Each structure stands twice: as structure tokens, then as C-alpha cells.
Amino acid sequence: MMLFGDHWADGLGAVHVVDRSGIKAGADPAGYFGQLARNIQTRFPNQPLRLIGFSLGASVALRTAPYLGSQVSGIDLISAAGPLGLGDYLGGMAGAPVFRLARSNPTLFAGLVRLQSVAARLFPGRLHDALFASAQGAYIPLSKDAAFKAAMLPILQQSLGAQRATYIGEIVLYVQGWEAELDRVTQPVTIHHGTADTWSPVAMAKDLGRRLPSVEAVYLLEGLSHYSTLREYWRSYFTHPSPIVS
């Protein structure tokens, strides 16, 4: 986890980030998440797994888990972006204009991402500052940390560059109404969420805690925001490590 310094990567040998770039994220969520599950099973046949979903990755973890079945021992959601249909969230989400555009006009949304891709290539620092302008709580010093910013810039450039098609496709799938799919998530879920998160409102964590069939715990971290909650999760992971696929 290079976002928080080199020392955070020391204990992550059991963590594997699944490459999703080879799967086309079209209008068929079953096809996309089913293929992702098959790719995971090819890499980890008959091996118990624990899924982790951070931010929009929560949607990917929750919607892939049913296709993996009992192979998944549990799911950790961090700063989870839950289904928009669970509540009235958009008024309090920093990314609301993007989600509204993706839902109402996917073609125009794709054009916006192309413009962001140019900005990420030519003016990465300005793009970073614009994206994190709404930082609150413990996230304020983290967003201004030089090491964090230096590590975040290539991630932004990759997401909006080489991984742009995956980014666009997964956001289009995210803004669809997928709350009914939560009923299929039978694996135990643990939720970690900061009370000062402006990207994924804390109400999302509470609603997911009530709506998912099997929730082991909901940890609301006082004063933490989006990435500072992720940092706190990794600190806990180092203390009690377990195999994770993200």
C-alpha cells in the first residue's frame, strides 16, 4: 500500500489485486461479475478467499461474491459506496455530479472521463487537488501529505489512462439499481467507515449494515474520511493479517 509509505507494503504478500482490464464492463452485470469470479477461481482454485472492497470497489466485491460462493470466507468493506437506491445520498456525496451524469447520459460521462484523462496526463497535481478539495477530518493532513500525493498521482493517471475503459464501465454498472443483488451476498461482511467521509456518506455504511443478509460488524471510525479509513484498516490488517483478494 504505497499510498501511505513504503513500510505499509511489507506485510502485503497475501494480498492480490485482480486485473479487471481484460473484461468488458457493458450493460450486463451478470456477465461482468461472473467472468471476474471465473478469473479469480482460475488464479486461486479451491483456495479460501477473503474479499476486500474499498470505495467503489465495494460494489465489485459484493456483486462478485455470489459467483464465488463458499470459496469466500468473508468480505471487508472499507469506505464503501453502496447502491444509490438504498437511500437519498447524492446530496451529500462529493462525486454526485459524476454519478448523476453516468446514470443519465453514459456517453457524455465517457467524454468527461476522456477530458479528465488529458488533465491527469498534463496537469496531474491540479486534478489531485480538485478531487480532494472536500477533504474533512483526519483526511485533511493526509490529502496534503507530499508522499501521499506523490503516490496518488500515478494511480489517478492509470485509472484515467490505461484503465479508463474499466473505470467507465464499472461506474456505469455502479449507478444502476443493484440493491436487489445484496440479497445474494450470503458471506459474512464487516464494514469499516469514517464518520467524516464525504465521498461515501456514513449513511451508506449504516444502510448496508441493515440491508446485507450477514453482517458481522459495522465499525464507524470517528473523524476519519475516505482514505484515512483505508489507512486505519491496513493498520488493523497488519495486526491481524488474513488472505485478501481485492
pLDDT 10s digits, 4-52: 344 334 444 567 878 787 787 777 899 999 999 999 999 999 889 999 9
Which of 217-231 are b and which e, b meaning 16 or more Cβ less than 10 Å from the residue's Cβ?
A: ebebbeebbbbbbbb
Q: Which residues pair with 41 in a beta bridge?
A: none
C-alpha cell at 47: 483456495
Domain extent for 117: 94-177
| Residue 100 shares a structural domain with residue 114 | yes
Q: Is residue 125 part of a domain?
A: yes
If pLDDT is split at 50, 70 and 90, which confidence band does 159 have?
Answer: low
Task: Provide the whole-model pTM.
Answer: 0.79
Q: Is residue 134 part of a domain?
A: yes
Domain final residue, candidates 123, 145, 177: 177
Q: Is residue 207 part of a domain?
A: yes
Q: Give the contacts of 208 (CB within 8 A, at least 6 positions apart).
A: 77, 80, 82, 86, 182, 189, 191, 215, 218
| Residue 169 shares a structural domain with residue 184 | no
| Residue 104 shares a structural domain with residue 207 | no
| Residue 172 shares a structural domain with residue 203 | no
Report the distance separating Cα 185 and Cα 33, nearest Å. 13
- The count of structural domains within the chain is 2
Q: Which of 18-22, 131-135, 217-221, 223-227 has the highest mean pLDDT?
A: 217-221
Higher-scoring residue by pLDDT: 186, 17:
186
Q: Is residue 235 part of a domain?
A: no
Burial class (CB in 10 A: 0-12, 13-18, 19+), 142: buried
With beta carbons less than 8 A apart as the criterion, state whether 165 and 200 touch. no
C-alpha cell at 149: 500525493
Burial class (CB in 10 A: 0-12, 13-18, 19+), 180: exposed
Give the up-direction half-sphere exposure of residue 174: CA atoms within 13 A in the CB hemisphere: 23
φ/ψ of 203, rounded to 5, equals -60, -30
Q: Is residue 8 part of a domain?
A: no
